[in-house]
A and B are shown apart, each in its own frame.
Chain A
Amino acid sequence: MRTKSLWICIVFFAILAPLGCCYSKIAWAQSESHEEQELIGNALSDPKNPIRILFEGERLGLWSLRPIAKPPIPLVKNTAWVWNPIDSFLLADWEEENAVPAPDVDPRAWLRRAANSLVGLPLSYELSSEFAAAPSMERFAIEVDRWLASPEYGEHWARMWLDAIRYSDSNGFDWDEFRPKAWLFRDYVIRAWNQNLPYDQFLIEQLAGDELLPGEPTTEREQQMLIATGYLRLGPYDNAAKLFNEQDRARVEVLSDLTETTASAMLGLTMACCRCHDHKTDPLSHADHYRFRAFFAACSFADDKPLELAHDQIAIQEHNAKVNAEIDAINARLRERINELVALLHVEPDPTTTEKPKKNKSNERTRLQAAMQEEQKTELSKFEAQIKSLKAQIRKPSVGLLMTDSKESIDKIAVLFQGDHRDPRDMVEPGFPSVLYPNTPTIEKPISETTTGRRLTLARWMVSRENPWTARVIVNRLWQMHFGTGIVDTPNDFGWTGSLPANPGLLDYLATELVESGWSIKHIQRLIVTSHAFQQQSLPTGSKLSDSTGRVYRSCRVGLKRLKAEELRDAVLLVSGQLQHRAGGPPVWPKLSDDILQANPAVLDDNETKTKGWYPSAPSLQTARSIYLIQKRTLRLPWLETFDLPENTVSCPKRDTSIVAPQALALLNGEMNVSASQALANKFKATHVTLAAQIEGLFQAVLARNPSAEERSLSETFLVNRDLAELTNVLLNSNEFAFIN
């Protein structure tokens, strides 16, 4: 047993009110005296565990509660098919059910998949052809590494993370104010993925980056840690609540959001379900929600915190002190000269104004102005101009969208009856899900003097070896992005209502591999993409493929992937040569029709700080990559929404794909496709003389291949009375362009 200094225990038997407690059979109240209590073990082994008692021993067979253990790599018969351990795990299952792996796709499709999966962009004709001419695993691996190292990789994968953590550039609710600094966090995520920041560090920084610093940031890395706390600020926030004296509700909503988003995105736990009552299916109690919430109890917005490096902050202060001193000096000289002139020109003080010296001065100045000669006026205005220009030199520190702790105002967290903040019941202390961690953890004392250590304690536990969820959840998200379907098909729900892992051994293998590689995301992705499974043909949805001998084909990939909203937009812009490179920065605001803007009260209300309203960016920025487009909560970009852009108020586990007529209308008639078609057609008209060359060039640019004889002839016939731009639009609308095989 650990010592009292490490663990403060909870007394729950004492308050195990058999009849009186209506919100839960068991409440977690905190022992008033911090006497040493008996430590309780996890529910899987300890009969005294509160969750075991609460649910009468049921619900504990949940697969995701089991510790992650590195499984042995299974033996398979068809060893020739296996390229790496991933294949062994898959093939072992398939062999057991007498199935065989589906055949491979052709090299072009294989490489296109990898490009889509790693950077989210179309493959060039040149690369595709070069690879198809001499395909090899070595060459494939070189391209994979190149993509993993390219800046576009982070831009693509940031989107996955931003989906999972409900990123938005605005508050939501009635007013949906723009958050001018949210983009710093978006860029942080892009950079973290590009730099392969270890995933454990990535989580720690988002939950508690500020707690890692002893003072002001001294390196760019430390600055990034502060920006990472933007994660804690990204949830919806009802800025109007204070008007209705409902700031308590808004505060509670912030804390609920942090609890639920963190649990969904990082742990695959549905904490939202136990906000009002004990979880209906999972081994989580009503109190568990609030114990988790208590880690965020000291959170306080830090949007005015300077972000500059410590020495820059000092430089700014010194600079400002120097400028202020100069201003003071000039002011003194000005005052002196005014006094001289007042005396010289016999300007009498106004007898009616005596009480306020400042007002008196200004009156004096007015009367002096009237008495002065032109050159004296000029002389004084020169002083004033100097002061004005000096004031303009005062430097304001940069700020962000940050969170930190306020040690002075730590919310007391109580279990809320039916989730209602007006009905608090028993108080709780911070705690992890009590099914496995019933005791109250010791809060780590952070190096930061201004924070409580609560979030850091949560973050450290999140990435500890004992946590059975974190590593599984992230490798499952990676798998889903690469194959379309996760090993667990419900990435945000590793509970009883979620799916079971299709291949538990593989999931745990990847999870341990992640941890052992130092939480290297790119290591896992390299493993996935260079597996044989990654090259397999996709199987049509819902069908079991079998031949006359009863042999069944299996593949991890089911159905064809329609490009996601952002991928499709980026692809149209890239192939038409319009995609603008952008190295981060404030979001790009697309031009929207008045009809759309007027349908939204939240943007009609322009204001001085430009946090309401709609402010279209310069035309040259309109074709930036989609990750850089503004993402408001109540006004979502219609083009992206047509292609199933997800809701951004809660964590999105998985993109839906619909195939509907409005999408066809957007691609046939929409402005973006029309201008892309015209741009590309004009390019080929200028550079390619013959029609045949133009057709060939178009197919190469859009589909990364040459046209077949039939396609060539169909295109030539079409061009007899149609324009090359229309042919371009045809190709941009083709299924081949929209689907990844």
Chain B
Amino acid sequence: MLSLPSSLLLPNSRRSFLQGLGGGFGMLAWNAMQRLALPNEQKSLRRVGDIDPLCPLAQRIPHFAPKAKSVIFLFLVGGPSQIDTFDHKPLLKELADKPVPKPVREAVQSTRFANVFHGCEDKILQSPYSFQQYGQNGTWVSELMPHFSKHVDDVCFIHSMQADSNNHAPASYQLHTGDVRAGKASLGSWVTYGLGSENENLPGYVVLFDAGPLGGAGNYSNGFLPPAFQSTRFRDRGEPVPNLTPHPSFVDGQRQSLDLIAALNHEHQSRLPGFLELDARIASYELAYRMQSAALDVGRLEEEPQHVHSLYGLDHHDKRTQSFARKCLLARRLVERGVRFVQLYDMPDKDGWDAHAKLTENHTPRARWTDQPVAALIADLKQTGMLDSTLVIWASEFGRTPMVQGDRGRQHNAAGFTIWLAGGGIKPGLHIGATDEIGLMATERPVQFRDLHATILTALGISYEELSYSVNGRDERLTGVEGSASPLKDIFS
């Protein structure tokens, strides 16, 4: 065989390797193995986005001092109604069954949100839920969230969120990736690409769900970023990741098998120098080996004491509450072990909070399934001191209209809705922005998803303008074109 002199085969660009093979692993696999085995503090840390191809998930030094180390993103799929949860509008009662007030209508119609009227009647549906004030600031919360309402002083509400699309998948893609189209990199991928993870034996970016978000895997995809930063789905029952345990007759010899695989692979690689995909695959076997025990360990929810089970609702009479409780608890255990980003979907079935008709039949049970676990997560993180370094986000792709749709339902509303953030250096007890008098459109300090993304990255110590990745000669950013996003700087304590 004619072969190229190996001196010719040195890479001239690390970035192109990363892009090409998608794994991001270095030249010499033996070195890789040795370095992967080192504890983090003994490795010389790189900066954001400067990926060590040998250990792409290795921790990196942020651009500036971070407030948060990790993120738990609670994604309430389908668009929960802001005016039935956190955006109390007493006027809706007076306006019940009446048309939208003319000034509100005209204000909305002159904006890009004019289509929010599409598909619903010009008739106000008052909230079927009662509201009460909680906490030191007298925060209004509806009766849907009895557990959460005890923690309102721990969270910062943004009442003026806006999305660019009034449809699920595009708006959902935008909240995840910054773009209404599928195919871009998701927030979790960007964060692990930027910072790596604190525990290289677990994936840096984990997603938890039963049936998954609307719009599918495009929501939690690594897009154009190397697959090292892709998400891994964990289950909250049984083996957290499939194929974690070796076959009984292979289990004793697994280490020997892996060593032999590595030896044969190095022999093979010596005949094909320079092909980084070979290093990547060699490294993936070592990671798989370590992941076996690490993933099994994190999935042992039964290790938690009974009071924690009860706090989250693992023993709740409603199975769907149990299921969401298990995910919230698993999220805490993942973050505790250094996982950088956990994306948790509230999707026990195929509908989500998409209450086009019969609002109460949709929202009441969904609130019951999530309220206690979410409240428990905040309480648990706070009590264990992890809330300071964990940014918790509660959000959906949009909210719902005050106008009625069909039989007591509400249409999608991207013009103004509420999300909240907690922990990770966020000032608690804040209320940012506001909607108009009927809760339809953000009128005070509208916030876009790119601003939210910039805020999240800032909390993590990442400069959102500097975090970029070159795709076809163009620098892609989570926050879009340079200068278009602005983080909510005043919400950091």
Contact = CB atoms under 8 A, between A and B. Distances in A.
Contacts of A741: 272
Contacts of B278: 560, 735, 739
A422 B277 CA distance: 50
20 contacts: A103-B2, A104-B2, A418-B115, A420-B118, A537-B3, A540-B11, A541-B275, A542-B20, A543-B13, A562-B277, A658-B230, A660-B227, A660-B228, A664-B281, A669-B244, A674-B250, A714-B264, A721-B253, A734-B268, A735-B265
Interface stretch (B44-52, B286-294, B422-430, B480-488): B286-294
Contact of B274 (A543, A674, A718): A543
B288 A560 contact: no
B29 to A, nearest CB: 10
B264 A734 contact: yes
A542 B287 contact: no
Given A665-B244, A730-B264, A736-B265, 13 more contacts: A103-B4, A420-B118, A542-B17, A543-B9, A647-B217, A658-B22, A659-B227, A661-B284, A662-B242, A665-B288, A718-B260, A725-B250, A741-B272
A558 B237 CA distance: 42
Interface string A127-156: 000000000000000000000000000000
Output the residue of B260, B267, B274, B288 with the most chain A CB within 10 A. B260
B362 interface: no
B211 A600 contact: yes
B168 to A, nearest CB: 13
A546 interface: yes
B281 A735 contact: yes
A729 B243 CA distance: 15
B157 to A, nearest CB: 32
B244 A559 contact: no
B27 to A, nearest CB: 10
B281 A738 contact: yes
Contacts of A601: 211, 349-350
A352 interface: no
B19 A734 contact: no
B249 A665 contact: no
A635 to B, nearest CB: 11
Contacts of A547: 5, 8
A418 B167 CA distance: 12
Contact of B12 (A543, A562, A599): A543
Nearest to A173: B350
Given A541-B16, A659-B281, A733-B285, A669 B238 contact: no
Given A559-B21, A560-B275, A601-B350, A669 B281 contact: no
A12 interface: no
B407 to A, nearest CB: 12
Contact of B264 (A105, A538, A736): A736
A542 B288 contact: no
Interface string A524-558: 00000000000001101111111100000100001
A590 B227 CA distance: 27
Given A174-B350, A659-B21, A711 B243 contact: no
A577 interface: no
Identify the interface centre among A418, A668, A708: most chain B CB within 10 Å of its CB. Answer: A668
A670 interface: yes
Given A595-B238, A730-B264, A739-B277, A659 B20 contact: no
B1 A540 contact: no
Contact of A735 (B4, B19, B210, B268): B268
Nearest to B264: A734
B137 interface: no
**Lowest 9 A-B CB distances belong to which pairs?**
A542-B16, A541-B20, A658-B227, A664-B288, A103-B2, A106-B1, A540-B274, A661-B288, A665-B243
B435 to A, nearest CB: 24
Interface of B: 1-5, 8-13, 15-17, 19-23, 115, 118, 203, 210-211, 216-217, 227-228, 230, 232, 235, 237-238, 241-247, 249-250, 253-254, 256-258, 260-261, 263-265, 267-269, 272, 274-278, 280-282, 284-285, 287-288, 291-292, 349-350
A723 interface: yes
Interface string A99-111: 0001111100100
A638 interface: yes
A669 B247 contact: yes
A739 to B, nearest CB: 7
B57 to A, nearest CB: 10
A93 interface: no
Nearest to B203: A661
A249 to B, nearest CB: 11
A725 B288 contact: no
Contact of A718 (B203, B217, B237, B256): B256
A666 interface: yes
A537 B211 CA distance: 45
B242 A668 contact: no
Most chain B CB within 10 A, of A537, A671, A726, is at A726
Contacts of B264: 711, 714, 730-731, 734-736
Contacts of B19: 542
Nearest to B9: A540
Contacts of A322: none
Contact of B257 (A595, A666, A726, A735): A726
A668 B246 contact: yes
Contact of A714 (B4, B115, B260): B260
A541 B277 contact: yes
A448 interface: no
A668 B267 contact: no
B164 to A, nearest CB: 13
B291 A661 contact: yes
Contacts of B16: 541-543
A736 B277 CA distance: 12
A658 B20 CA distance: 10
B272 A662 contact: no
A599 B11 contact: no
Given A659-B21, A674-B250, A729-B250, A664 B285 contact: yes
Contact of B268 (A714, A725, A736): A736
Contacts of A665: 241-244, 288, 291-292
Nearest to B246: A669
A671 B245 CA distance: 11
A242 interface: no
Contacts of A109: 1
Nearest to A638: B242
Nearest to B216: A647
B9 A723 contact: no
Contacts of A668: 243, 246, 250, 254, 257-258, 285, 288
A543 B260 contact: no
Contact of A660 (B211, B230, B269): B230
Contacts of A103: 2-4
A464 interface: no
A663 B211 CA distance: 22
Interface string A631-646: 0000000100010000
A661 B204 CA distance: 12
A361 to B, nearest CB: 47
A560 B278 CA distance: 8
Contacts of A715: 260
A517 interface: no
A657 interface: yes
Given A601-B211, A669-B247, A542 B11 contact: yes
Given A595-B238, A669-B243, A710-B267, A540 B276 contact: yes
B265 A734 contact: yes
A335 interface: no
Contacts of A102: 4
Contacts of B1: 104-106, 109
Nearest to A733: B261
B8 A545 contact: yes
Contacts of A738: 281
B105 to A, nearest CB: 19
A733 to B, nearest CB: 5
